[in-house]
Structure formats: structure tokens, C-alpha cells
Amino acid sequence: MTKILAITNQKGGVGKTTTSVNLAASLAASGKRVLLADLDPQGNATMGSGTNKQTVKVTIYHVLLGDAGIEEARVSNPQGKYDLIPANRDLAGAEVEMVNFPQREARLKLALESIQDDYDYVLIDCPPALNLLTLNGLCAAHAVMIPMQCEYYALEGLSDLVNTIKRVRSNFNPTLRIEGLLRTMFDPRNILAQQVSDQLQQHFGDKVYRTVIPRTVRLAEAPGFGLPVLYHDGQSKGAQAYLDLAKEILSA
Ligand code: ATP
Ligand code: MG
């Protein structure tokens, strides 16, 4: 059965896109059929997957508005071995344009229905906001993956997100679960990061992935080549970490 995962955190710059792109490539490298849907007007997952967001014609924006079928937006990404639904800044207007649509929170879920059987995993890269786009991601998903940096305000932001997930569960998507919390950009020499990581494990127990993503230059530079780190430097620590995460998810 297809598993649809929303990769979300309303906090900006915590590693959502890096996780989306590199987990997509790592699951694909394990032989899984993977679709990555870019749900962020910044289009970072699109660029990071080697698709030019400036020149791409049909995007998730057209799909959400009902102006194109999702098959028309789908791009195959042979380098990462997964498929992509691209996004660009057009998507920023979607929220306002969808306001009067019936079931405006379920547009992505309904669109995915026609192609999701082609995949073992659908990953949704959400924008850094608790807005209608993110709500579409949460309504379409079976579960949520939350990348987070272990820093002072992280836990506070997390309780907002957990409350949002609860509200989505009671109003729209009763079976939505938290799949896991992923510690990103981790620096073990940083004492505060260690403390926050310990607190996270106390509060969330085995919801915290054992795999920790280290802060590494290779992960930061790979998007500049339009490549997952696995195909930029397969021997790097970052590539290994995302392969480990894929393994952890597949063995769960
Ligand atoms: P936004 O909220 O803007 O969508 P995001 O949560 O998707 O951001 P990313 O874009 O994945 O976060 O990461 C933010 C920045 O940190 C990027 O420049 C990225 O290359 C860098 N980065 C992400 N993960 C790592 C890592 N493990 N090591 C080093 N740099 C990283
Ligand atoms: Mg992002």
C-alpha cells in the first residue's frame, strides 16, 4: 500500500526540503517507487531535484486549481530515480484563489488519488507555515514527519504543530499520525543541542527517529547541483545518514 508522508514544520529552515529530497532519493535507491510533491512556493525541492522552477510549465499550482491533471505536472527525475510534482512562486497565489472552492483543504488529496498507486511512497514537502497549503499536505497524508533542529525554541514550536495535527485529525483526517521526529543539522559538540535532544526523547520516546542527520557541507551544497547528496557525494556522512533514515523507515 502507498504511504503518504507530509514533511512539515511551520518553522523555517529546519531541513524539510533537504529531508524531502534526500529521503526520496534514498528510498528510491532502496528500490521503492517514490513521488515527491513540492508544496512550497519557494520551489526548493523542485530545484534540488534538478527541475528548473522558472521554466517548468505545469506545476502543483495548476493541479490544485483544477487547471491541469496531476499526470500533466509529473516530471520524472532520472538522476534521483524518483518522480516530482514541481512548484514555483505561482503557488503563492493558490491560497487566495482556492478560498471559495468546495473542500479546499482536500484538493491535493483528491488529485493524488489518480496516481498514488504508482508509488510505494509519496513525500510532500510543506512550506514553513500553518496555512492552507500545509493543510492540504496534512489532509492528503497518512502520517507526518517533523524535521527539527535541536535548539532553544524548537520544543515550543513543536507544541503548536502537535496542536495543529490534533485539529486536523478531529476535523479532516481522523487517522493522521505523527510518523516521527527527525533531528537535523545536528552537532554533537553543541551542549544545548544535546540537552534539547534529550528532552525530545523524554517527551516523544520512540517517535524520535534513531537516525540523526548531522550538519554537513555536502548536504548544503548538493541542491546547487540539482542533486540529492547521494549522487553528489555518495560517500559523505550526509548521504549515509539519509540512507540510514530510509532503512529505519523501511524496517519499521
Ligand atoms: P524552508 O522552511 O525555508 O522551506 P526547510 O525547512 O525546507 O526551509 P532546508 O531548505 O532543507 O530547510 O534547509 C535550510 C538550509 O540549511 C538550506 O540552506 C540547506 O541546504 C541547509 N541544510 C539543511 N540540512 C542541512 C544539514 N544537515 N547540514 C548542513 N546544512 C543543511
Ligand atoms: Mg523548504
- For ligand 1, atom 21, the nearest C-alpha belongs to 220
H helix runs in the chain, sequence order? 16-29, 44-48, 60-65, 70-73, 94-97, 107-112, 132-140, 154-171, 191-204, 217-221, 229-232, 237-251
> What does DSSP say about strands 3-7 and 82-85: parallel, antiparallel, or unpaired?
unpaired
- For ligand 1, atom 14, the nearest C-alpha belongs to 13
- Grid look-up 514553513 returns 128
Q: Rounded to two decimals, what is the model's pTM?
A: 0.98
What is the average pLDDT value for the chain, to the nearest integer? 96
3-class DSSP assignment, residue 210: strand
Closest-CA residue to 138 (of 169, 163, 160): 169
Q: Which residues of 124-141 are buried (b: 16+ CB within 10 A; e: fewer)?
A: bbbbbebebbbbbbbbbb
Cα-to-centroid distance, 20 and ligand 2 (Å)? 9
3-251 belongs to which homologous superfamily? P-loop containing nucleotide triphosphate hydrolases (3.40.50.300)
User: Which of 17, 20, 53, when mutated, tests ligand 1's pocket best, judged by the most ligand atoms within 8 Å of its CB?
Assistant: 17
CB atoms within 10 A of CB 118: 13
Q: Is 54 exposed, middle or buried (0-12, 13-18, 19+ CB in 10 A)?
A: exposed
pLDDT computed for residue 77 by the predictor:
86
Closest-CA residue to 22 (of 210, 184, 251): 184
How many residues appear in the chain? 252
Residue 102 CB partners (closer than 8 Å, separation 6+) = none
3-class DSSP assignment, residue 169: helix
Q: From the CA of 221, give the closest atom in ligand 1.
A: 20
Q: Give the Cα separation of 197 and 151 in Å (integer).
A: 9
Q: Is the pLDDT of residue 57 over 90?
A: yes
- Residues in the 5 Å CB sphere of ion ligand 2: 16-17, 44
| pLDDT tens per residue across span 233-247 | 999 999 999 999 999
Q: Give the Cα separation of 168 and 33 in Å (integer).
A: 28
| pLDDT tens per residue across span 171-214 | 999 999 999 999 999 998 999 999 999 999 999 999 999 999 99
